[in-house]
């Protein structure tokens, strides 16, 4: 056998080896399994996926030849599917291809509630779109913040360095969300990198596309979501590795100003001698003072002093629309009115009222120390070191939102607050 034949045979075996060792789509290697990777699509069924805000899968999605196919029947109002499971910190990777002039997206930290009609008002989106043919097919030009591999309407890459394959060809994308530090990749190259919930992030969120979407991007845990935006799209090799949560410990009030908080309503909230003061305004309506950030699991301590009336409270995992709050309140109230108990602001009302013999724990007109511990569906409260509430509630466990202070309607209220310290769990 000649040397040339030997080389040809060796080359053929090498080629067969490469082809034979190619990883089958929608599978994990033993190394990936050992590292903690999980498949979100098994290549055969859509088990683990369902309609957004639904209990089953009814939308225009199907499995075709080992791919999840968006049939292109969706629009802005419907056509979204989400994972059954919620994810917090993760490394998410997937392959995708889009039809000519097509548009789709991968969203994450999506929150489900009936009052959210579409997922994108809650969860950020990695944009998937055919930049090259969009204008020719749809008759309008794309803005920079709408192009492929952007953090939609927030952060854009250096497009000169982006490696996007054309419509009909497979691309590989990746999102790494690590305790607020976020990195997007396209075909192995980084496209954007940013830190969520910073002053820069909030400045971008509170203008432009999300100016009227107050809950956009705030959830620290939520569903993965695929979008059918009226164009066929295909997905495969969707896999995720969950990353650990880091504990954060900090003061929520800086003693100088109200930075990091949002005022809802017309009642004044202001700092004086290192203390936060809330008092009834001329409208005598409800008012709220909420953190910009969401807090899920935490141990919070604070102090309050009721100078007049004192009908207030600390809301947890709450959202505010105007002065309508949705969430759970650990009560702060005048004597005899269940300070330390828990009230649900929509639906069920009182979840726990304190025993009569504990009403004297409140020091009206003096400083009181309150502690609130919330982990999953387990909520506890203490007042001046005494346990007040200890409840387990599934609905609380599903909640997401801010920490908010309330000033009750009716007028004549003035409460001082200080020493807000939180440790995330």
Give the pLDDT score at 34: 98
pLDDT band (50, 70, 90) for residue 16: very low
> Residue range 56-75: average pLDDT?
94
pLDDT band (50, 70, 90) for residue 8: very low
pLDDT band (50, 70, 90) for residue 326: very high
Give the pLDDT score at 155: 98
Is 50 exceeded by the pLDDT of residue 421?
yes
Task: Sort 142 into a burial class: Cβ within 10 Å, 0-12 / 13-18 / 19+.
Answer: middle
Give the pLDDT score at 167: 97
Is 90 exceeded by the pLDDT of residue 223?
yes
> Residue range 340-346: average pLDDT?
96
Residue 36: partners with Cβ closer than 8 Å, 6 or more residues away = 241, 242
By the 8 A CB rule, do 47 and 238 touch?
A: no
> Residue range 406-423: average pLDDT?
96
pLDDT band (50, 70, 90) for residue 418: very high
pLDDT band (50, 70, 90) for residue 3: very low
- The neighbour count for residue 371, using CB atoms within 10 Å, is 19
Give the pLDDT score at 60: 83
Is 80 exceeded by the pLDDT of residue 360?
yes
Q: What is the pTM of this model?
A: 0.92
Q: Which of 10-14, 255-259, 361-365, 399-403 has the lowest mean pLDDT?
A: 10-14
Give the pLDDT score at 22: 75
Is 50 exceeded by the pLDDT of residue 187?
yes
Q: CA 79 to CA 49: how far, in whole Å?
A: 13
Q: Please write down the long-range contacts of 385-391, taking CB distance under 8 Å and 24 or more positions apart.
A: 386/358, 386/361, 388/339, 388/340, 388/341, 388/354, 388/358, 388/361, 389/330, 389/340, 389/341, 389/342, 389/352, 389/354, 391/342, 391/351, 391/352
Give the residue carrying structure tokens 């141990």: 299
Give the pLDDT score at 197: 98
Is 70 exceeded by the pLDDT of residue 340?
yes
Domains along the chain?
A: 26-242 (2.60.120.560), 249-424 (2.60.120.560)
How many residues are there in the chain?
Answer: 425
pLDDT band (50, 70, 90) for residue 381: very high
Is 90 exceeded by the pLDDT of residue 19?
no
Give the pLDDT score at 184: 98
Percent of all residues in the chain with a pLDDT value above 90, rounded to a whole number:
93
pLDDT band (50, 70, 90) for residue 244: very high
Is 90 exceeded by the pLDDT of residue 308?
yes
4: Cα separation from own chain's centroid: 61
Decide the pairing of beta strands 171-178 and 125-129: unpaired
17: Cα separation from own chain's centroid: 44
Is 50 exceeded by the pLDDT of residue 166?
yes
Q: CA 326 to CA 320: how far, in whole Å?
A: 6
**Nearest in space to 372 (alpha carbons), one of 401, 329, 417, 333:** 329
Give the pLDDT score at 114: 93
Identify which has the larger pLDDT, 12 or 94.
94
Is 50 exceeded by the pLDDT of residue 4?
no
Q: How far apart are the first and last CA of the chain?
A: 70
Give the pLDDT score at 69: 97
Give the pLDDT score at 17: 34
Give the pLDDT score at 59: 77
- Average pLDDT for the chain: 94
Q: CA 370 to CA 230: how far, in whole Å?
A: 51
Give the pLDDT score at 211: 95
């Amino acid at each position: 056998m000649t040397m040339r034949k030997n080389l040809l045979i060796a080359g053929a075996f090498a080629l067969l080896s490469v082809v034979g060792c190619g990883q089958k789509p929608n599978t994990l290697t033993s190394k990936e399994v050992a590292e903690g990777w999980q498949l979100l699509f098994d290549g055969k069924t859509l088990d683990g996926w369902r309609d957004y805000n639904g209990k089953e899968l009814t939308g225009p999605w199907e499995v075709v030849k080992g791919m999840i196919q968006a049939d292109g029947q969706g629009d802005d109002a419907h056509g979204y599917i989400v994972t059954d499971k919620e994810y917090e910190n993760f490394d998410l990777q997937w392959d995708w291809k889009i039809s000519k002039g097509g548009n789709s997206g991968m969203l994450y930290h999506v929150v489900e509630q009936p009052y959210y009609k579409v997922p994108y008002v809650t969860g950020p989106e990695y944009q998937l779109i055919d930049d090259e043919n969009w204008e020719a097919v749809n008759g309008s030009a794309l803005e920079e913040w709408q192009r492929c591999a952007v953090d939609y309407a927030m952060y854009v890459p250096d497009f000169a360095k982006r490696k996007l394959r054309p419509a009909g060809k497979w691309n590989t994308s990746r999102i790494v969300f690590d305790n607020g530090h976020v990195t997007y990749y396209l075909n192995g190259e980084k496209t954007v990198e940013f830190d969520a919930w910073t002053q820069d992030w909030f400045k971008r969120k509170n203008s432009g596309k999300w100016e009227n979407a107050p809950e956009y991007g705030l959830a620290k845990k939520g569903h993965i979501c695929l979008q059918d935006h009226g164009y066929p799209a295909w997905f495969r090799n969707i896999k995720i590795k969950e990353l650990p949560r880091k504990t954060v410990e900090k003061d929520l009030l800086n003693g100088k100003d109200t930075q990091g908080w949002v005022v809802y309503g017309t009642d004044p909230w202001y700092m004086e001698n290192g203390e936060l003061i809330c008092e009834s305004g001329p409208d005598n309506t409800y008012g709220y003072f909420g953190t910009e950030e969401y807090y899920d699991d935490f141990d919070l301590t604070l102090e309050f002093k009721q100078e007049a009336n004192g009908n207030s409270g600390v809301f947890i995992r709450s959202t505010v629309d105007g002065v309508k709050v949705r969430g759970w309140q650990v009560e702060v109230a005048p004597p005899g009115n269940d300070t330390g108990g828990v009230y649900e602001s929509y639906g069920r009302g009182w979840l726990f009222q304190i025993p009569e013999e504990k009403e004297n724990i409140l020091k009206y007109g003096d400083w009181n120390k309150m502690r609130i511990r919330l982990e999953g569906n387990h909520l506890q409260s203490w007042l001046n070191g005494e346990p007040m509430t200890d409840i387990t509630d599934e609905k609380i466990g599903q909640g997401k939102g801010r920490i908010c202070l309330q000033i009750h309607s009716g007028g004549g209220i003035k409460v001082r607050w200080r020493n807000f310290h939180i440790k995330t769990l």
